[in-house]
Amino acid sequence: MRGPGGWWRRQSTPEKVETYTRGSFHFFAVLEFVTIGLTALIPLGGWVGAALLLTAGVHAALCFVTVSRALDWTRGRRPQPVGLLWSLAAVTAAVGVTAIGIAERGPDSESVDAAVGGALGVVVIVGTGIIALGIRERKRVFAVVGAFAAGSGIVAFTRGAPAGESLLASVMVLFGGGLVAFTAVVSVWLLNIVYELDEARETRSRLAVAEERLRFGRDLHDVMGRNLAVIALKSELAVQLAQRGRPEAVAQMVEVQRLAQESQREVREVVRGYREADLASELAGAQGVLTAAGIDCTVSGTTAAGLPVAVQSALGWVVREAATNVLRHGDARRCAVRLRMSEGRVVLSVENDGVSEAGGGPSGSSGSSGSGLAGLRERLAEIDGTLEAGPAGKGLFRLTAEIPLRSVPARSESVAVVRTVSEVTP
């Protein structure tokens, strides 16, 4: 969309706030020039009014530039405009002295004095506030406001103004300049907050993306780990059978083909984010796979059909990873899987033999390393579950997962009757 409206819509929220802040302080500079032109040029007239208007124009232009440079410095795009701030302070003081000189040497009338006093007040107040844009320390802002307020009173008093009028001039500059300076400080503070909030939102988005990538990598590892191990095992078996001229090699390769197609389907489901492991299916699958690999696998204990979906999914991943590790590591001959309910907790344990005397487990020396177990711990931690893995005696390795049921809301309103695993496993 073209035009000013389209440009505004294309700006981000921080950019809109920054544009508004710049426009507000630029408006102060324009308002200063217009105010002095209307209040001083008509009463003074001639060269006197023109001179005052010209000096006010120079001051307004310098304020305009200072606003842009100071806000750029605030956002880290430019160095601090120290020289420009000193120049603005000098020009502000010069305009004030010029106004006082015009009041002394110009036409002697109350309207002239009022016009010159108003011009002096506007220039000093606006200049003080805009200088505050380029100062970060609050003490220095207070010092600038106090210096201009004190200077206004001193100059007025030395030029013959009564003490009361000189004090009034100081007070007016103090409150007026302080108000504009306070507005400048608050505006910069709000602008920085808006940018920081925007950066925090972007950081949160990046973290969400990173977390999703970790989840995807973890799911992909869990999905493909066991299947690839089984495919490798059955392929090796098929090669050996084919070398012996055994017809069973064809059946093994058919199974490899089925597993490959199943892996493709599961990867697509992981990509879509819809996959959840089914506990009963994973128990049956683990028992079938380990038995086919020559490992005596027994599944015992009880399971509850009414367990929350999150619990079943997490335990299903535990069974899958445990079966994968038994296939990949060690030289297991037996594997026992047991599921039980204990004091409001569901406990799943997988124990296998074939561990070396050095105590090396399926995932390392202590069973605590490896991306598979780390992924399982992350899954279980989401539902306040725990995972322990390590040697469980001479030549044994045990993996135990515990999940408190009270921390996971069940999705079904009624809990089904507890049945044995043997009822749902072949």
Pairing, β 334-342 against β 296-303: parallel
Per-residue pLDDT tens digits for 250-274: 888 988 888 888 888 887 777 665 5
Q: Tokens in use for 372? A: 């598979």
Provide, rounded to the nearest whole percent, the portion of the chain with pLDDT above 90: 5
Q: Are 187 and 67 in contact (CB under 8 A)?
A: no
Q: How far is CA 253 from CA 224, 225, 226, 256, 291, in A?
A: 18, 19, 17, 5, 18
Q: What is the largest CA-CA distance in the chain?
A: 125
pLDDT of residue 360: 43
Measured CA to CA, the distance from residue 191 to residue 129 in angstroms comes to 17
Q: Tokens in use for 318? A: 């535990």
Measured CA to CA, the distance from residue 217 to residue 251 in angstroms comes to 32
Q: Tokens in use for 408? A: 């996971």
Measured CA to CA, the distance from residue 315 to residue 417 in angstroms comes to 19
Name the CA radius of gyration of the chain, rounded: 40
Per-residue pLDDT tens digits for 16-29: 888 888 888 888 88
Question: Within the chain, which residues score under 50 in pLDDT?
Answer: 1, 357-369, 410-426
pLDDT of residue 165: 73
Q: Are 345 and 405 in contact (CB under 8 A)?
A: yes
Q: What is the CB neighbour count within 10 angstroms for residue 129?
A: 25
pLDDT of residue 276: 62
Q: What is the CB neighbour count within 10 angstroms for residue 334?
A: 15
Q: Are 112 and 43 in contact (CB under 8 A)?
A: yes
pLDDT of residue 426: 34
pLDDT of residue 155: 72
pLDDT of residue 398: 92
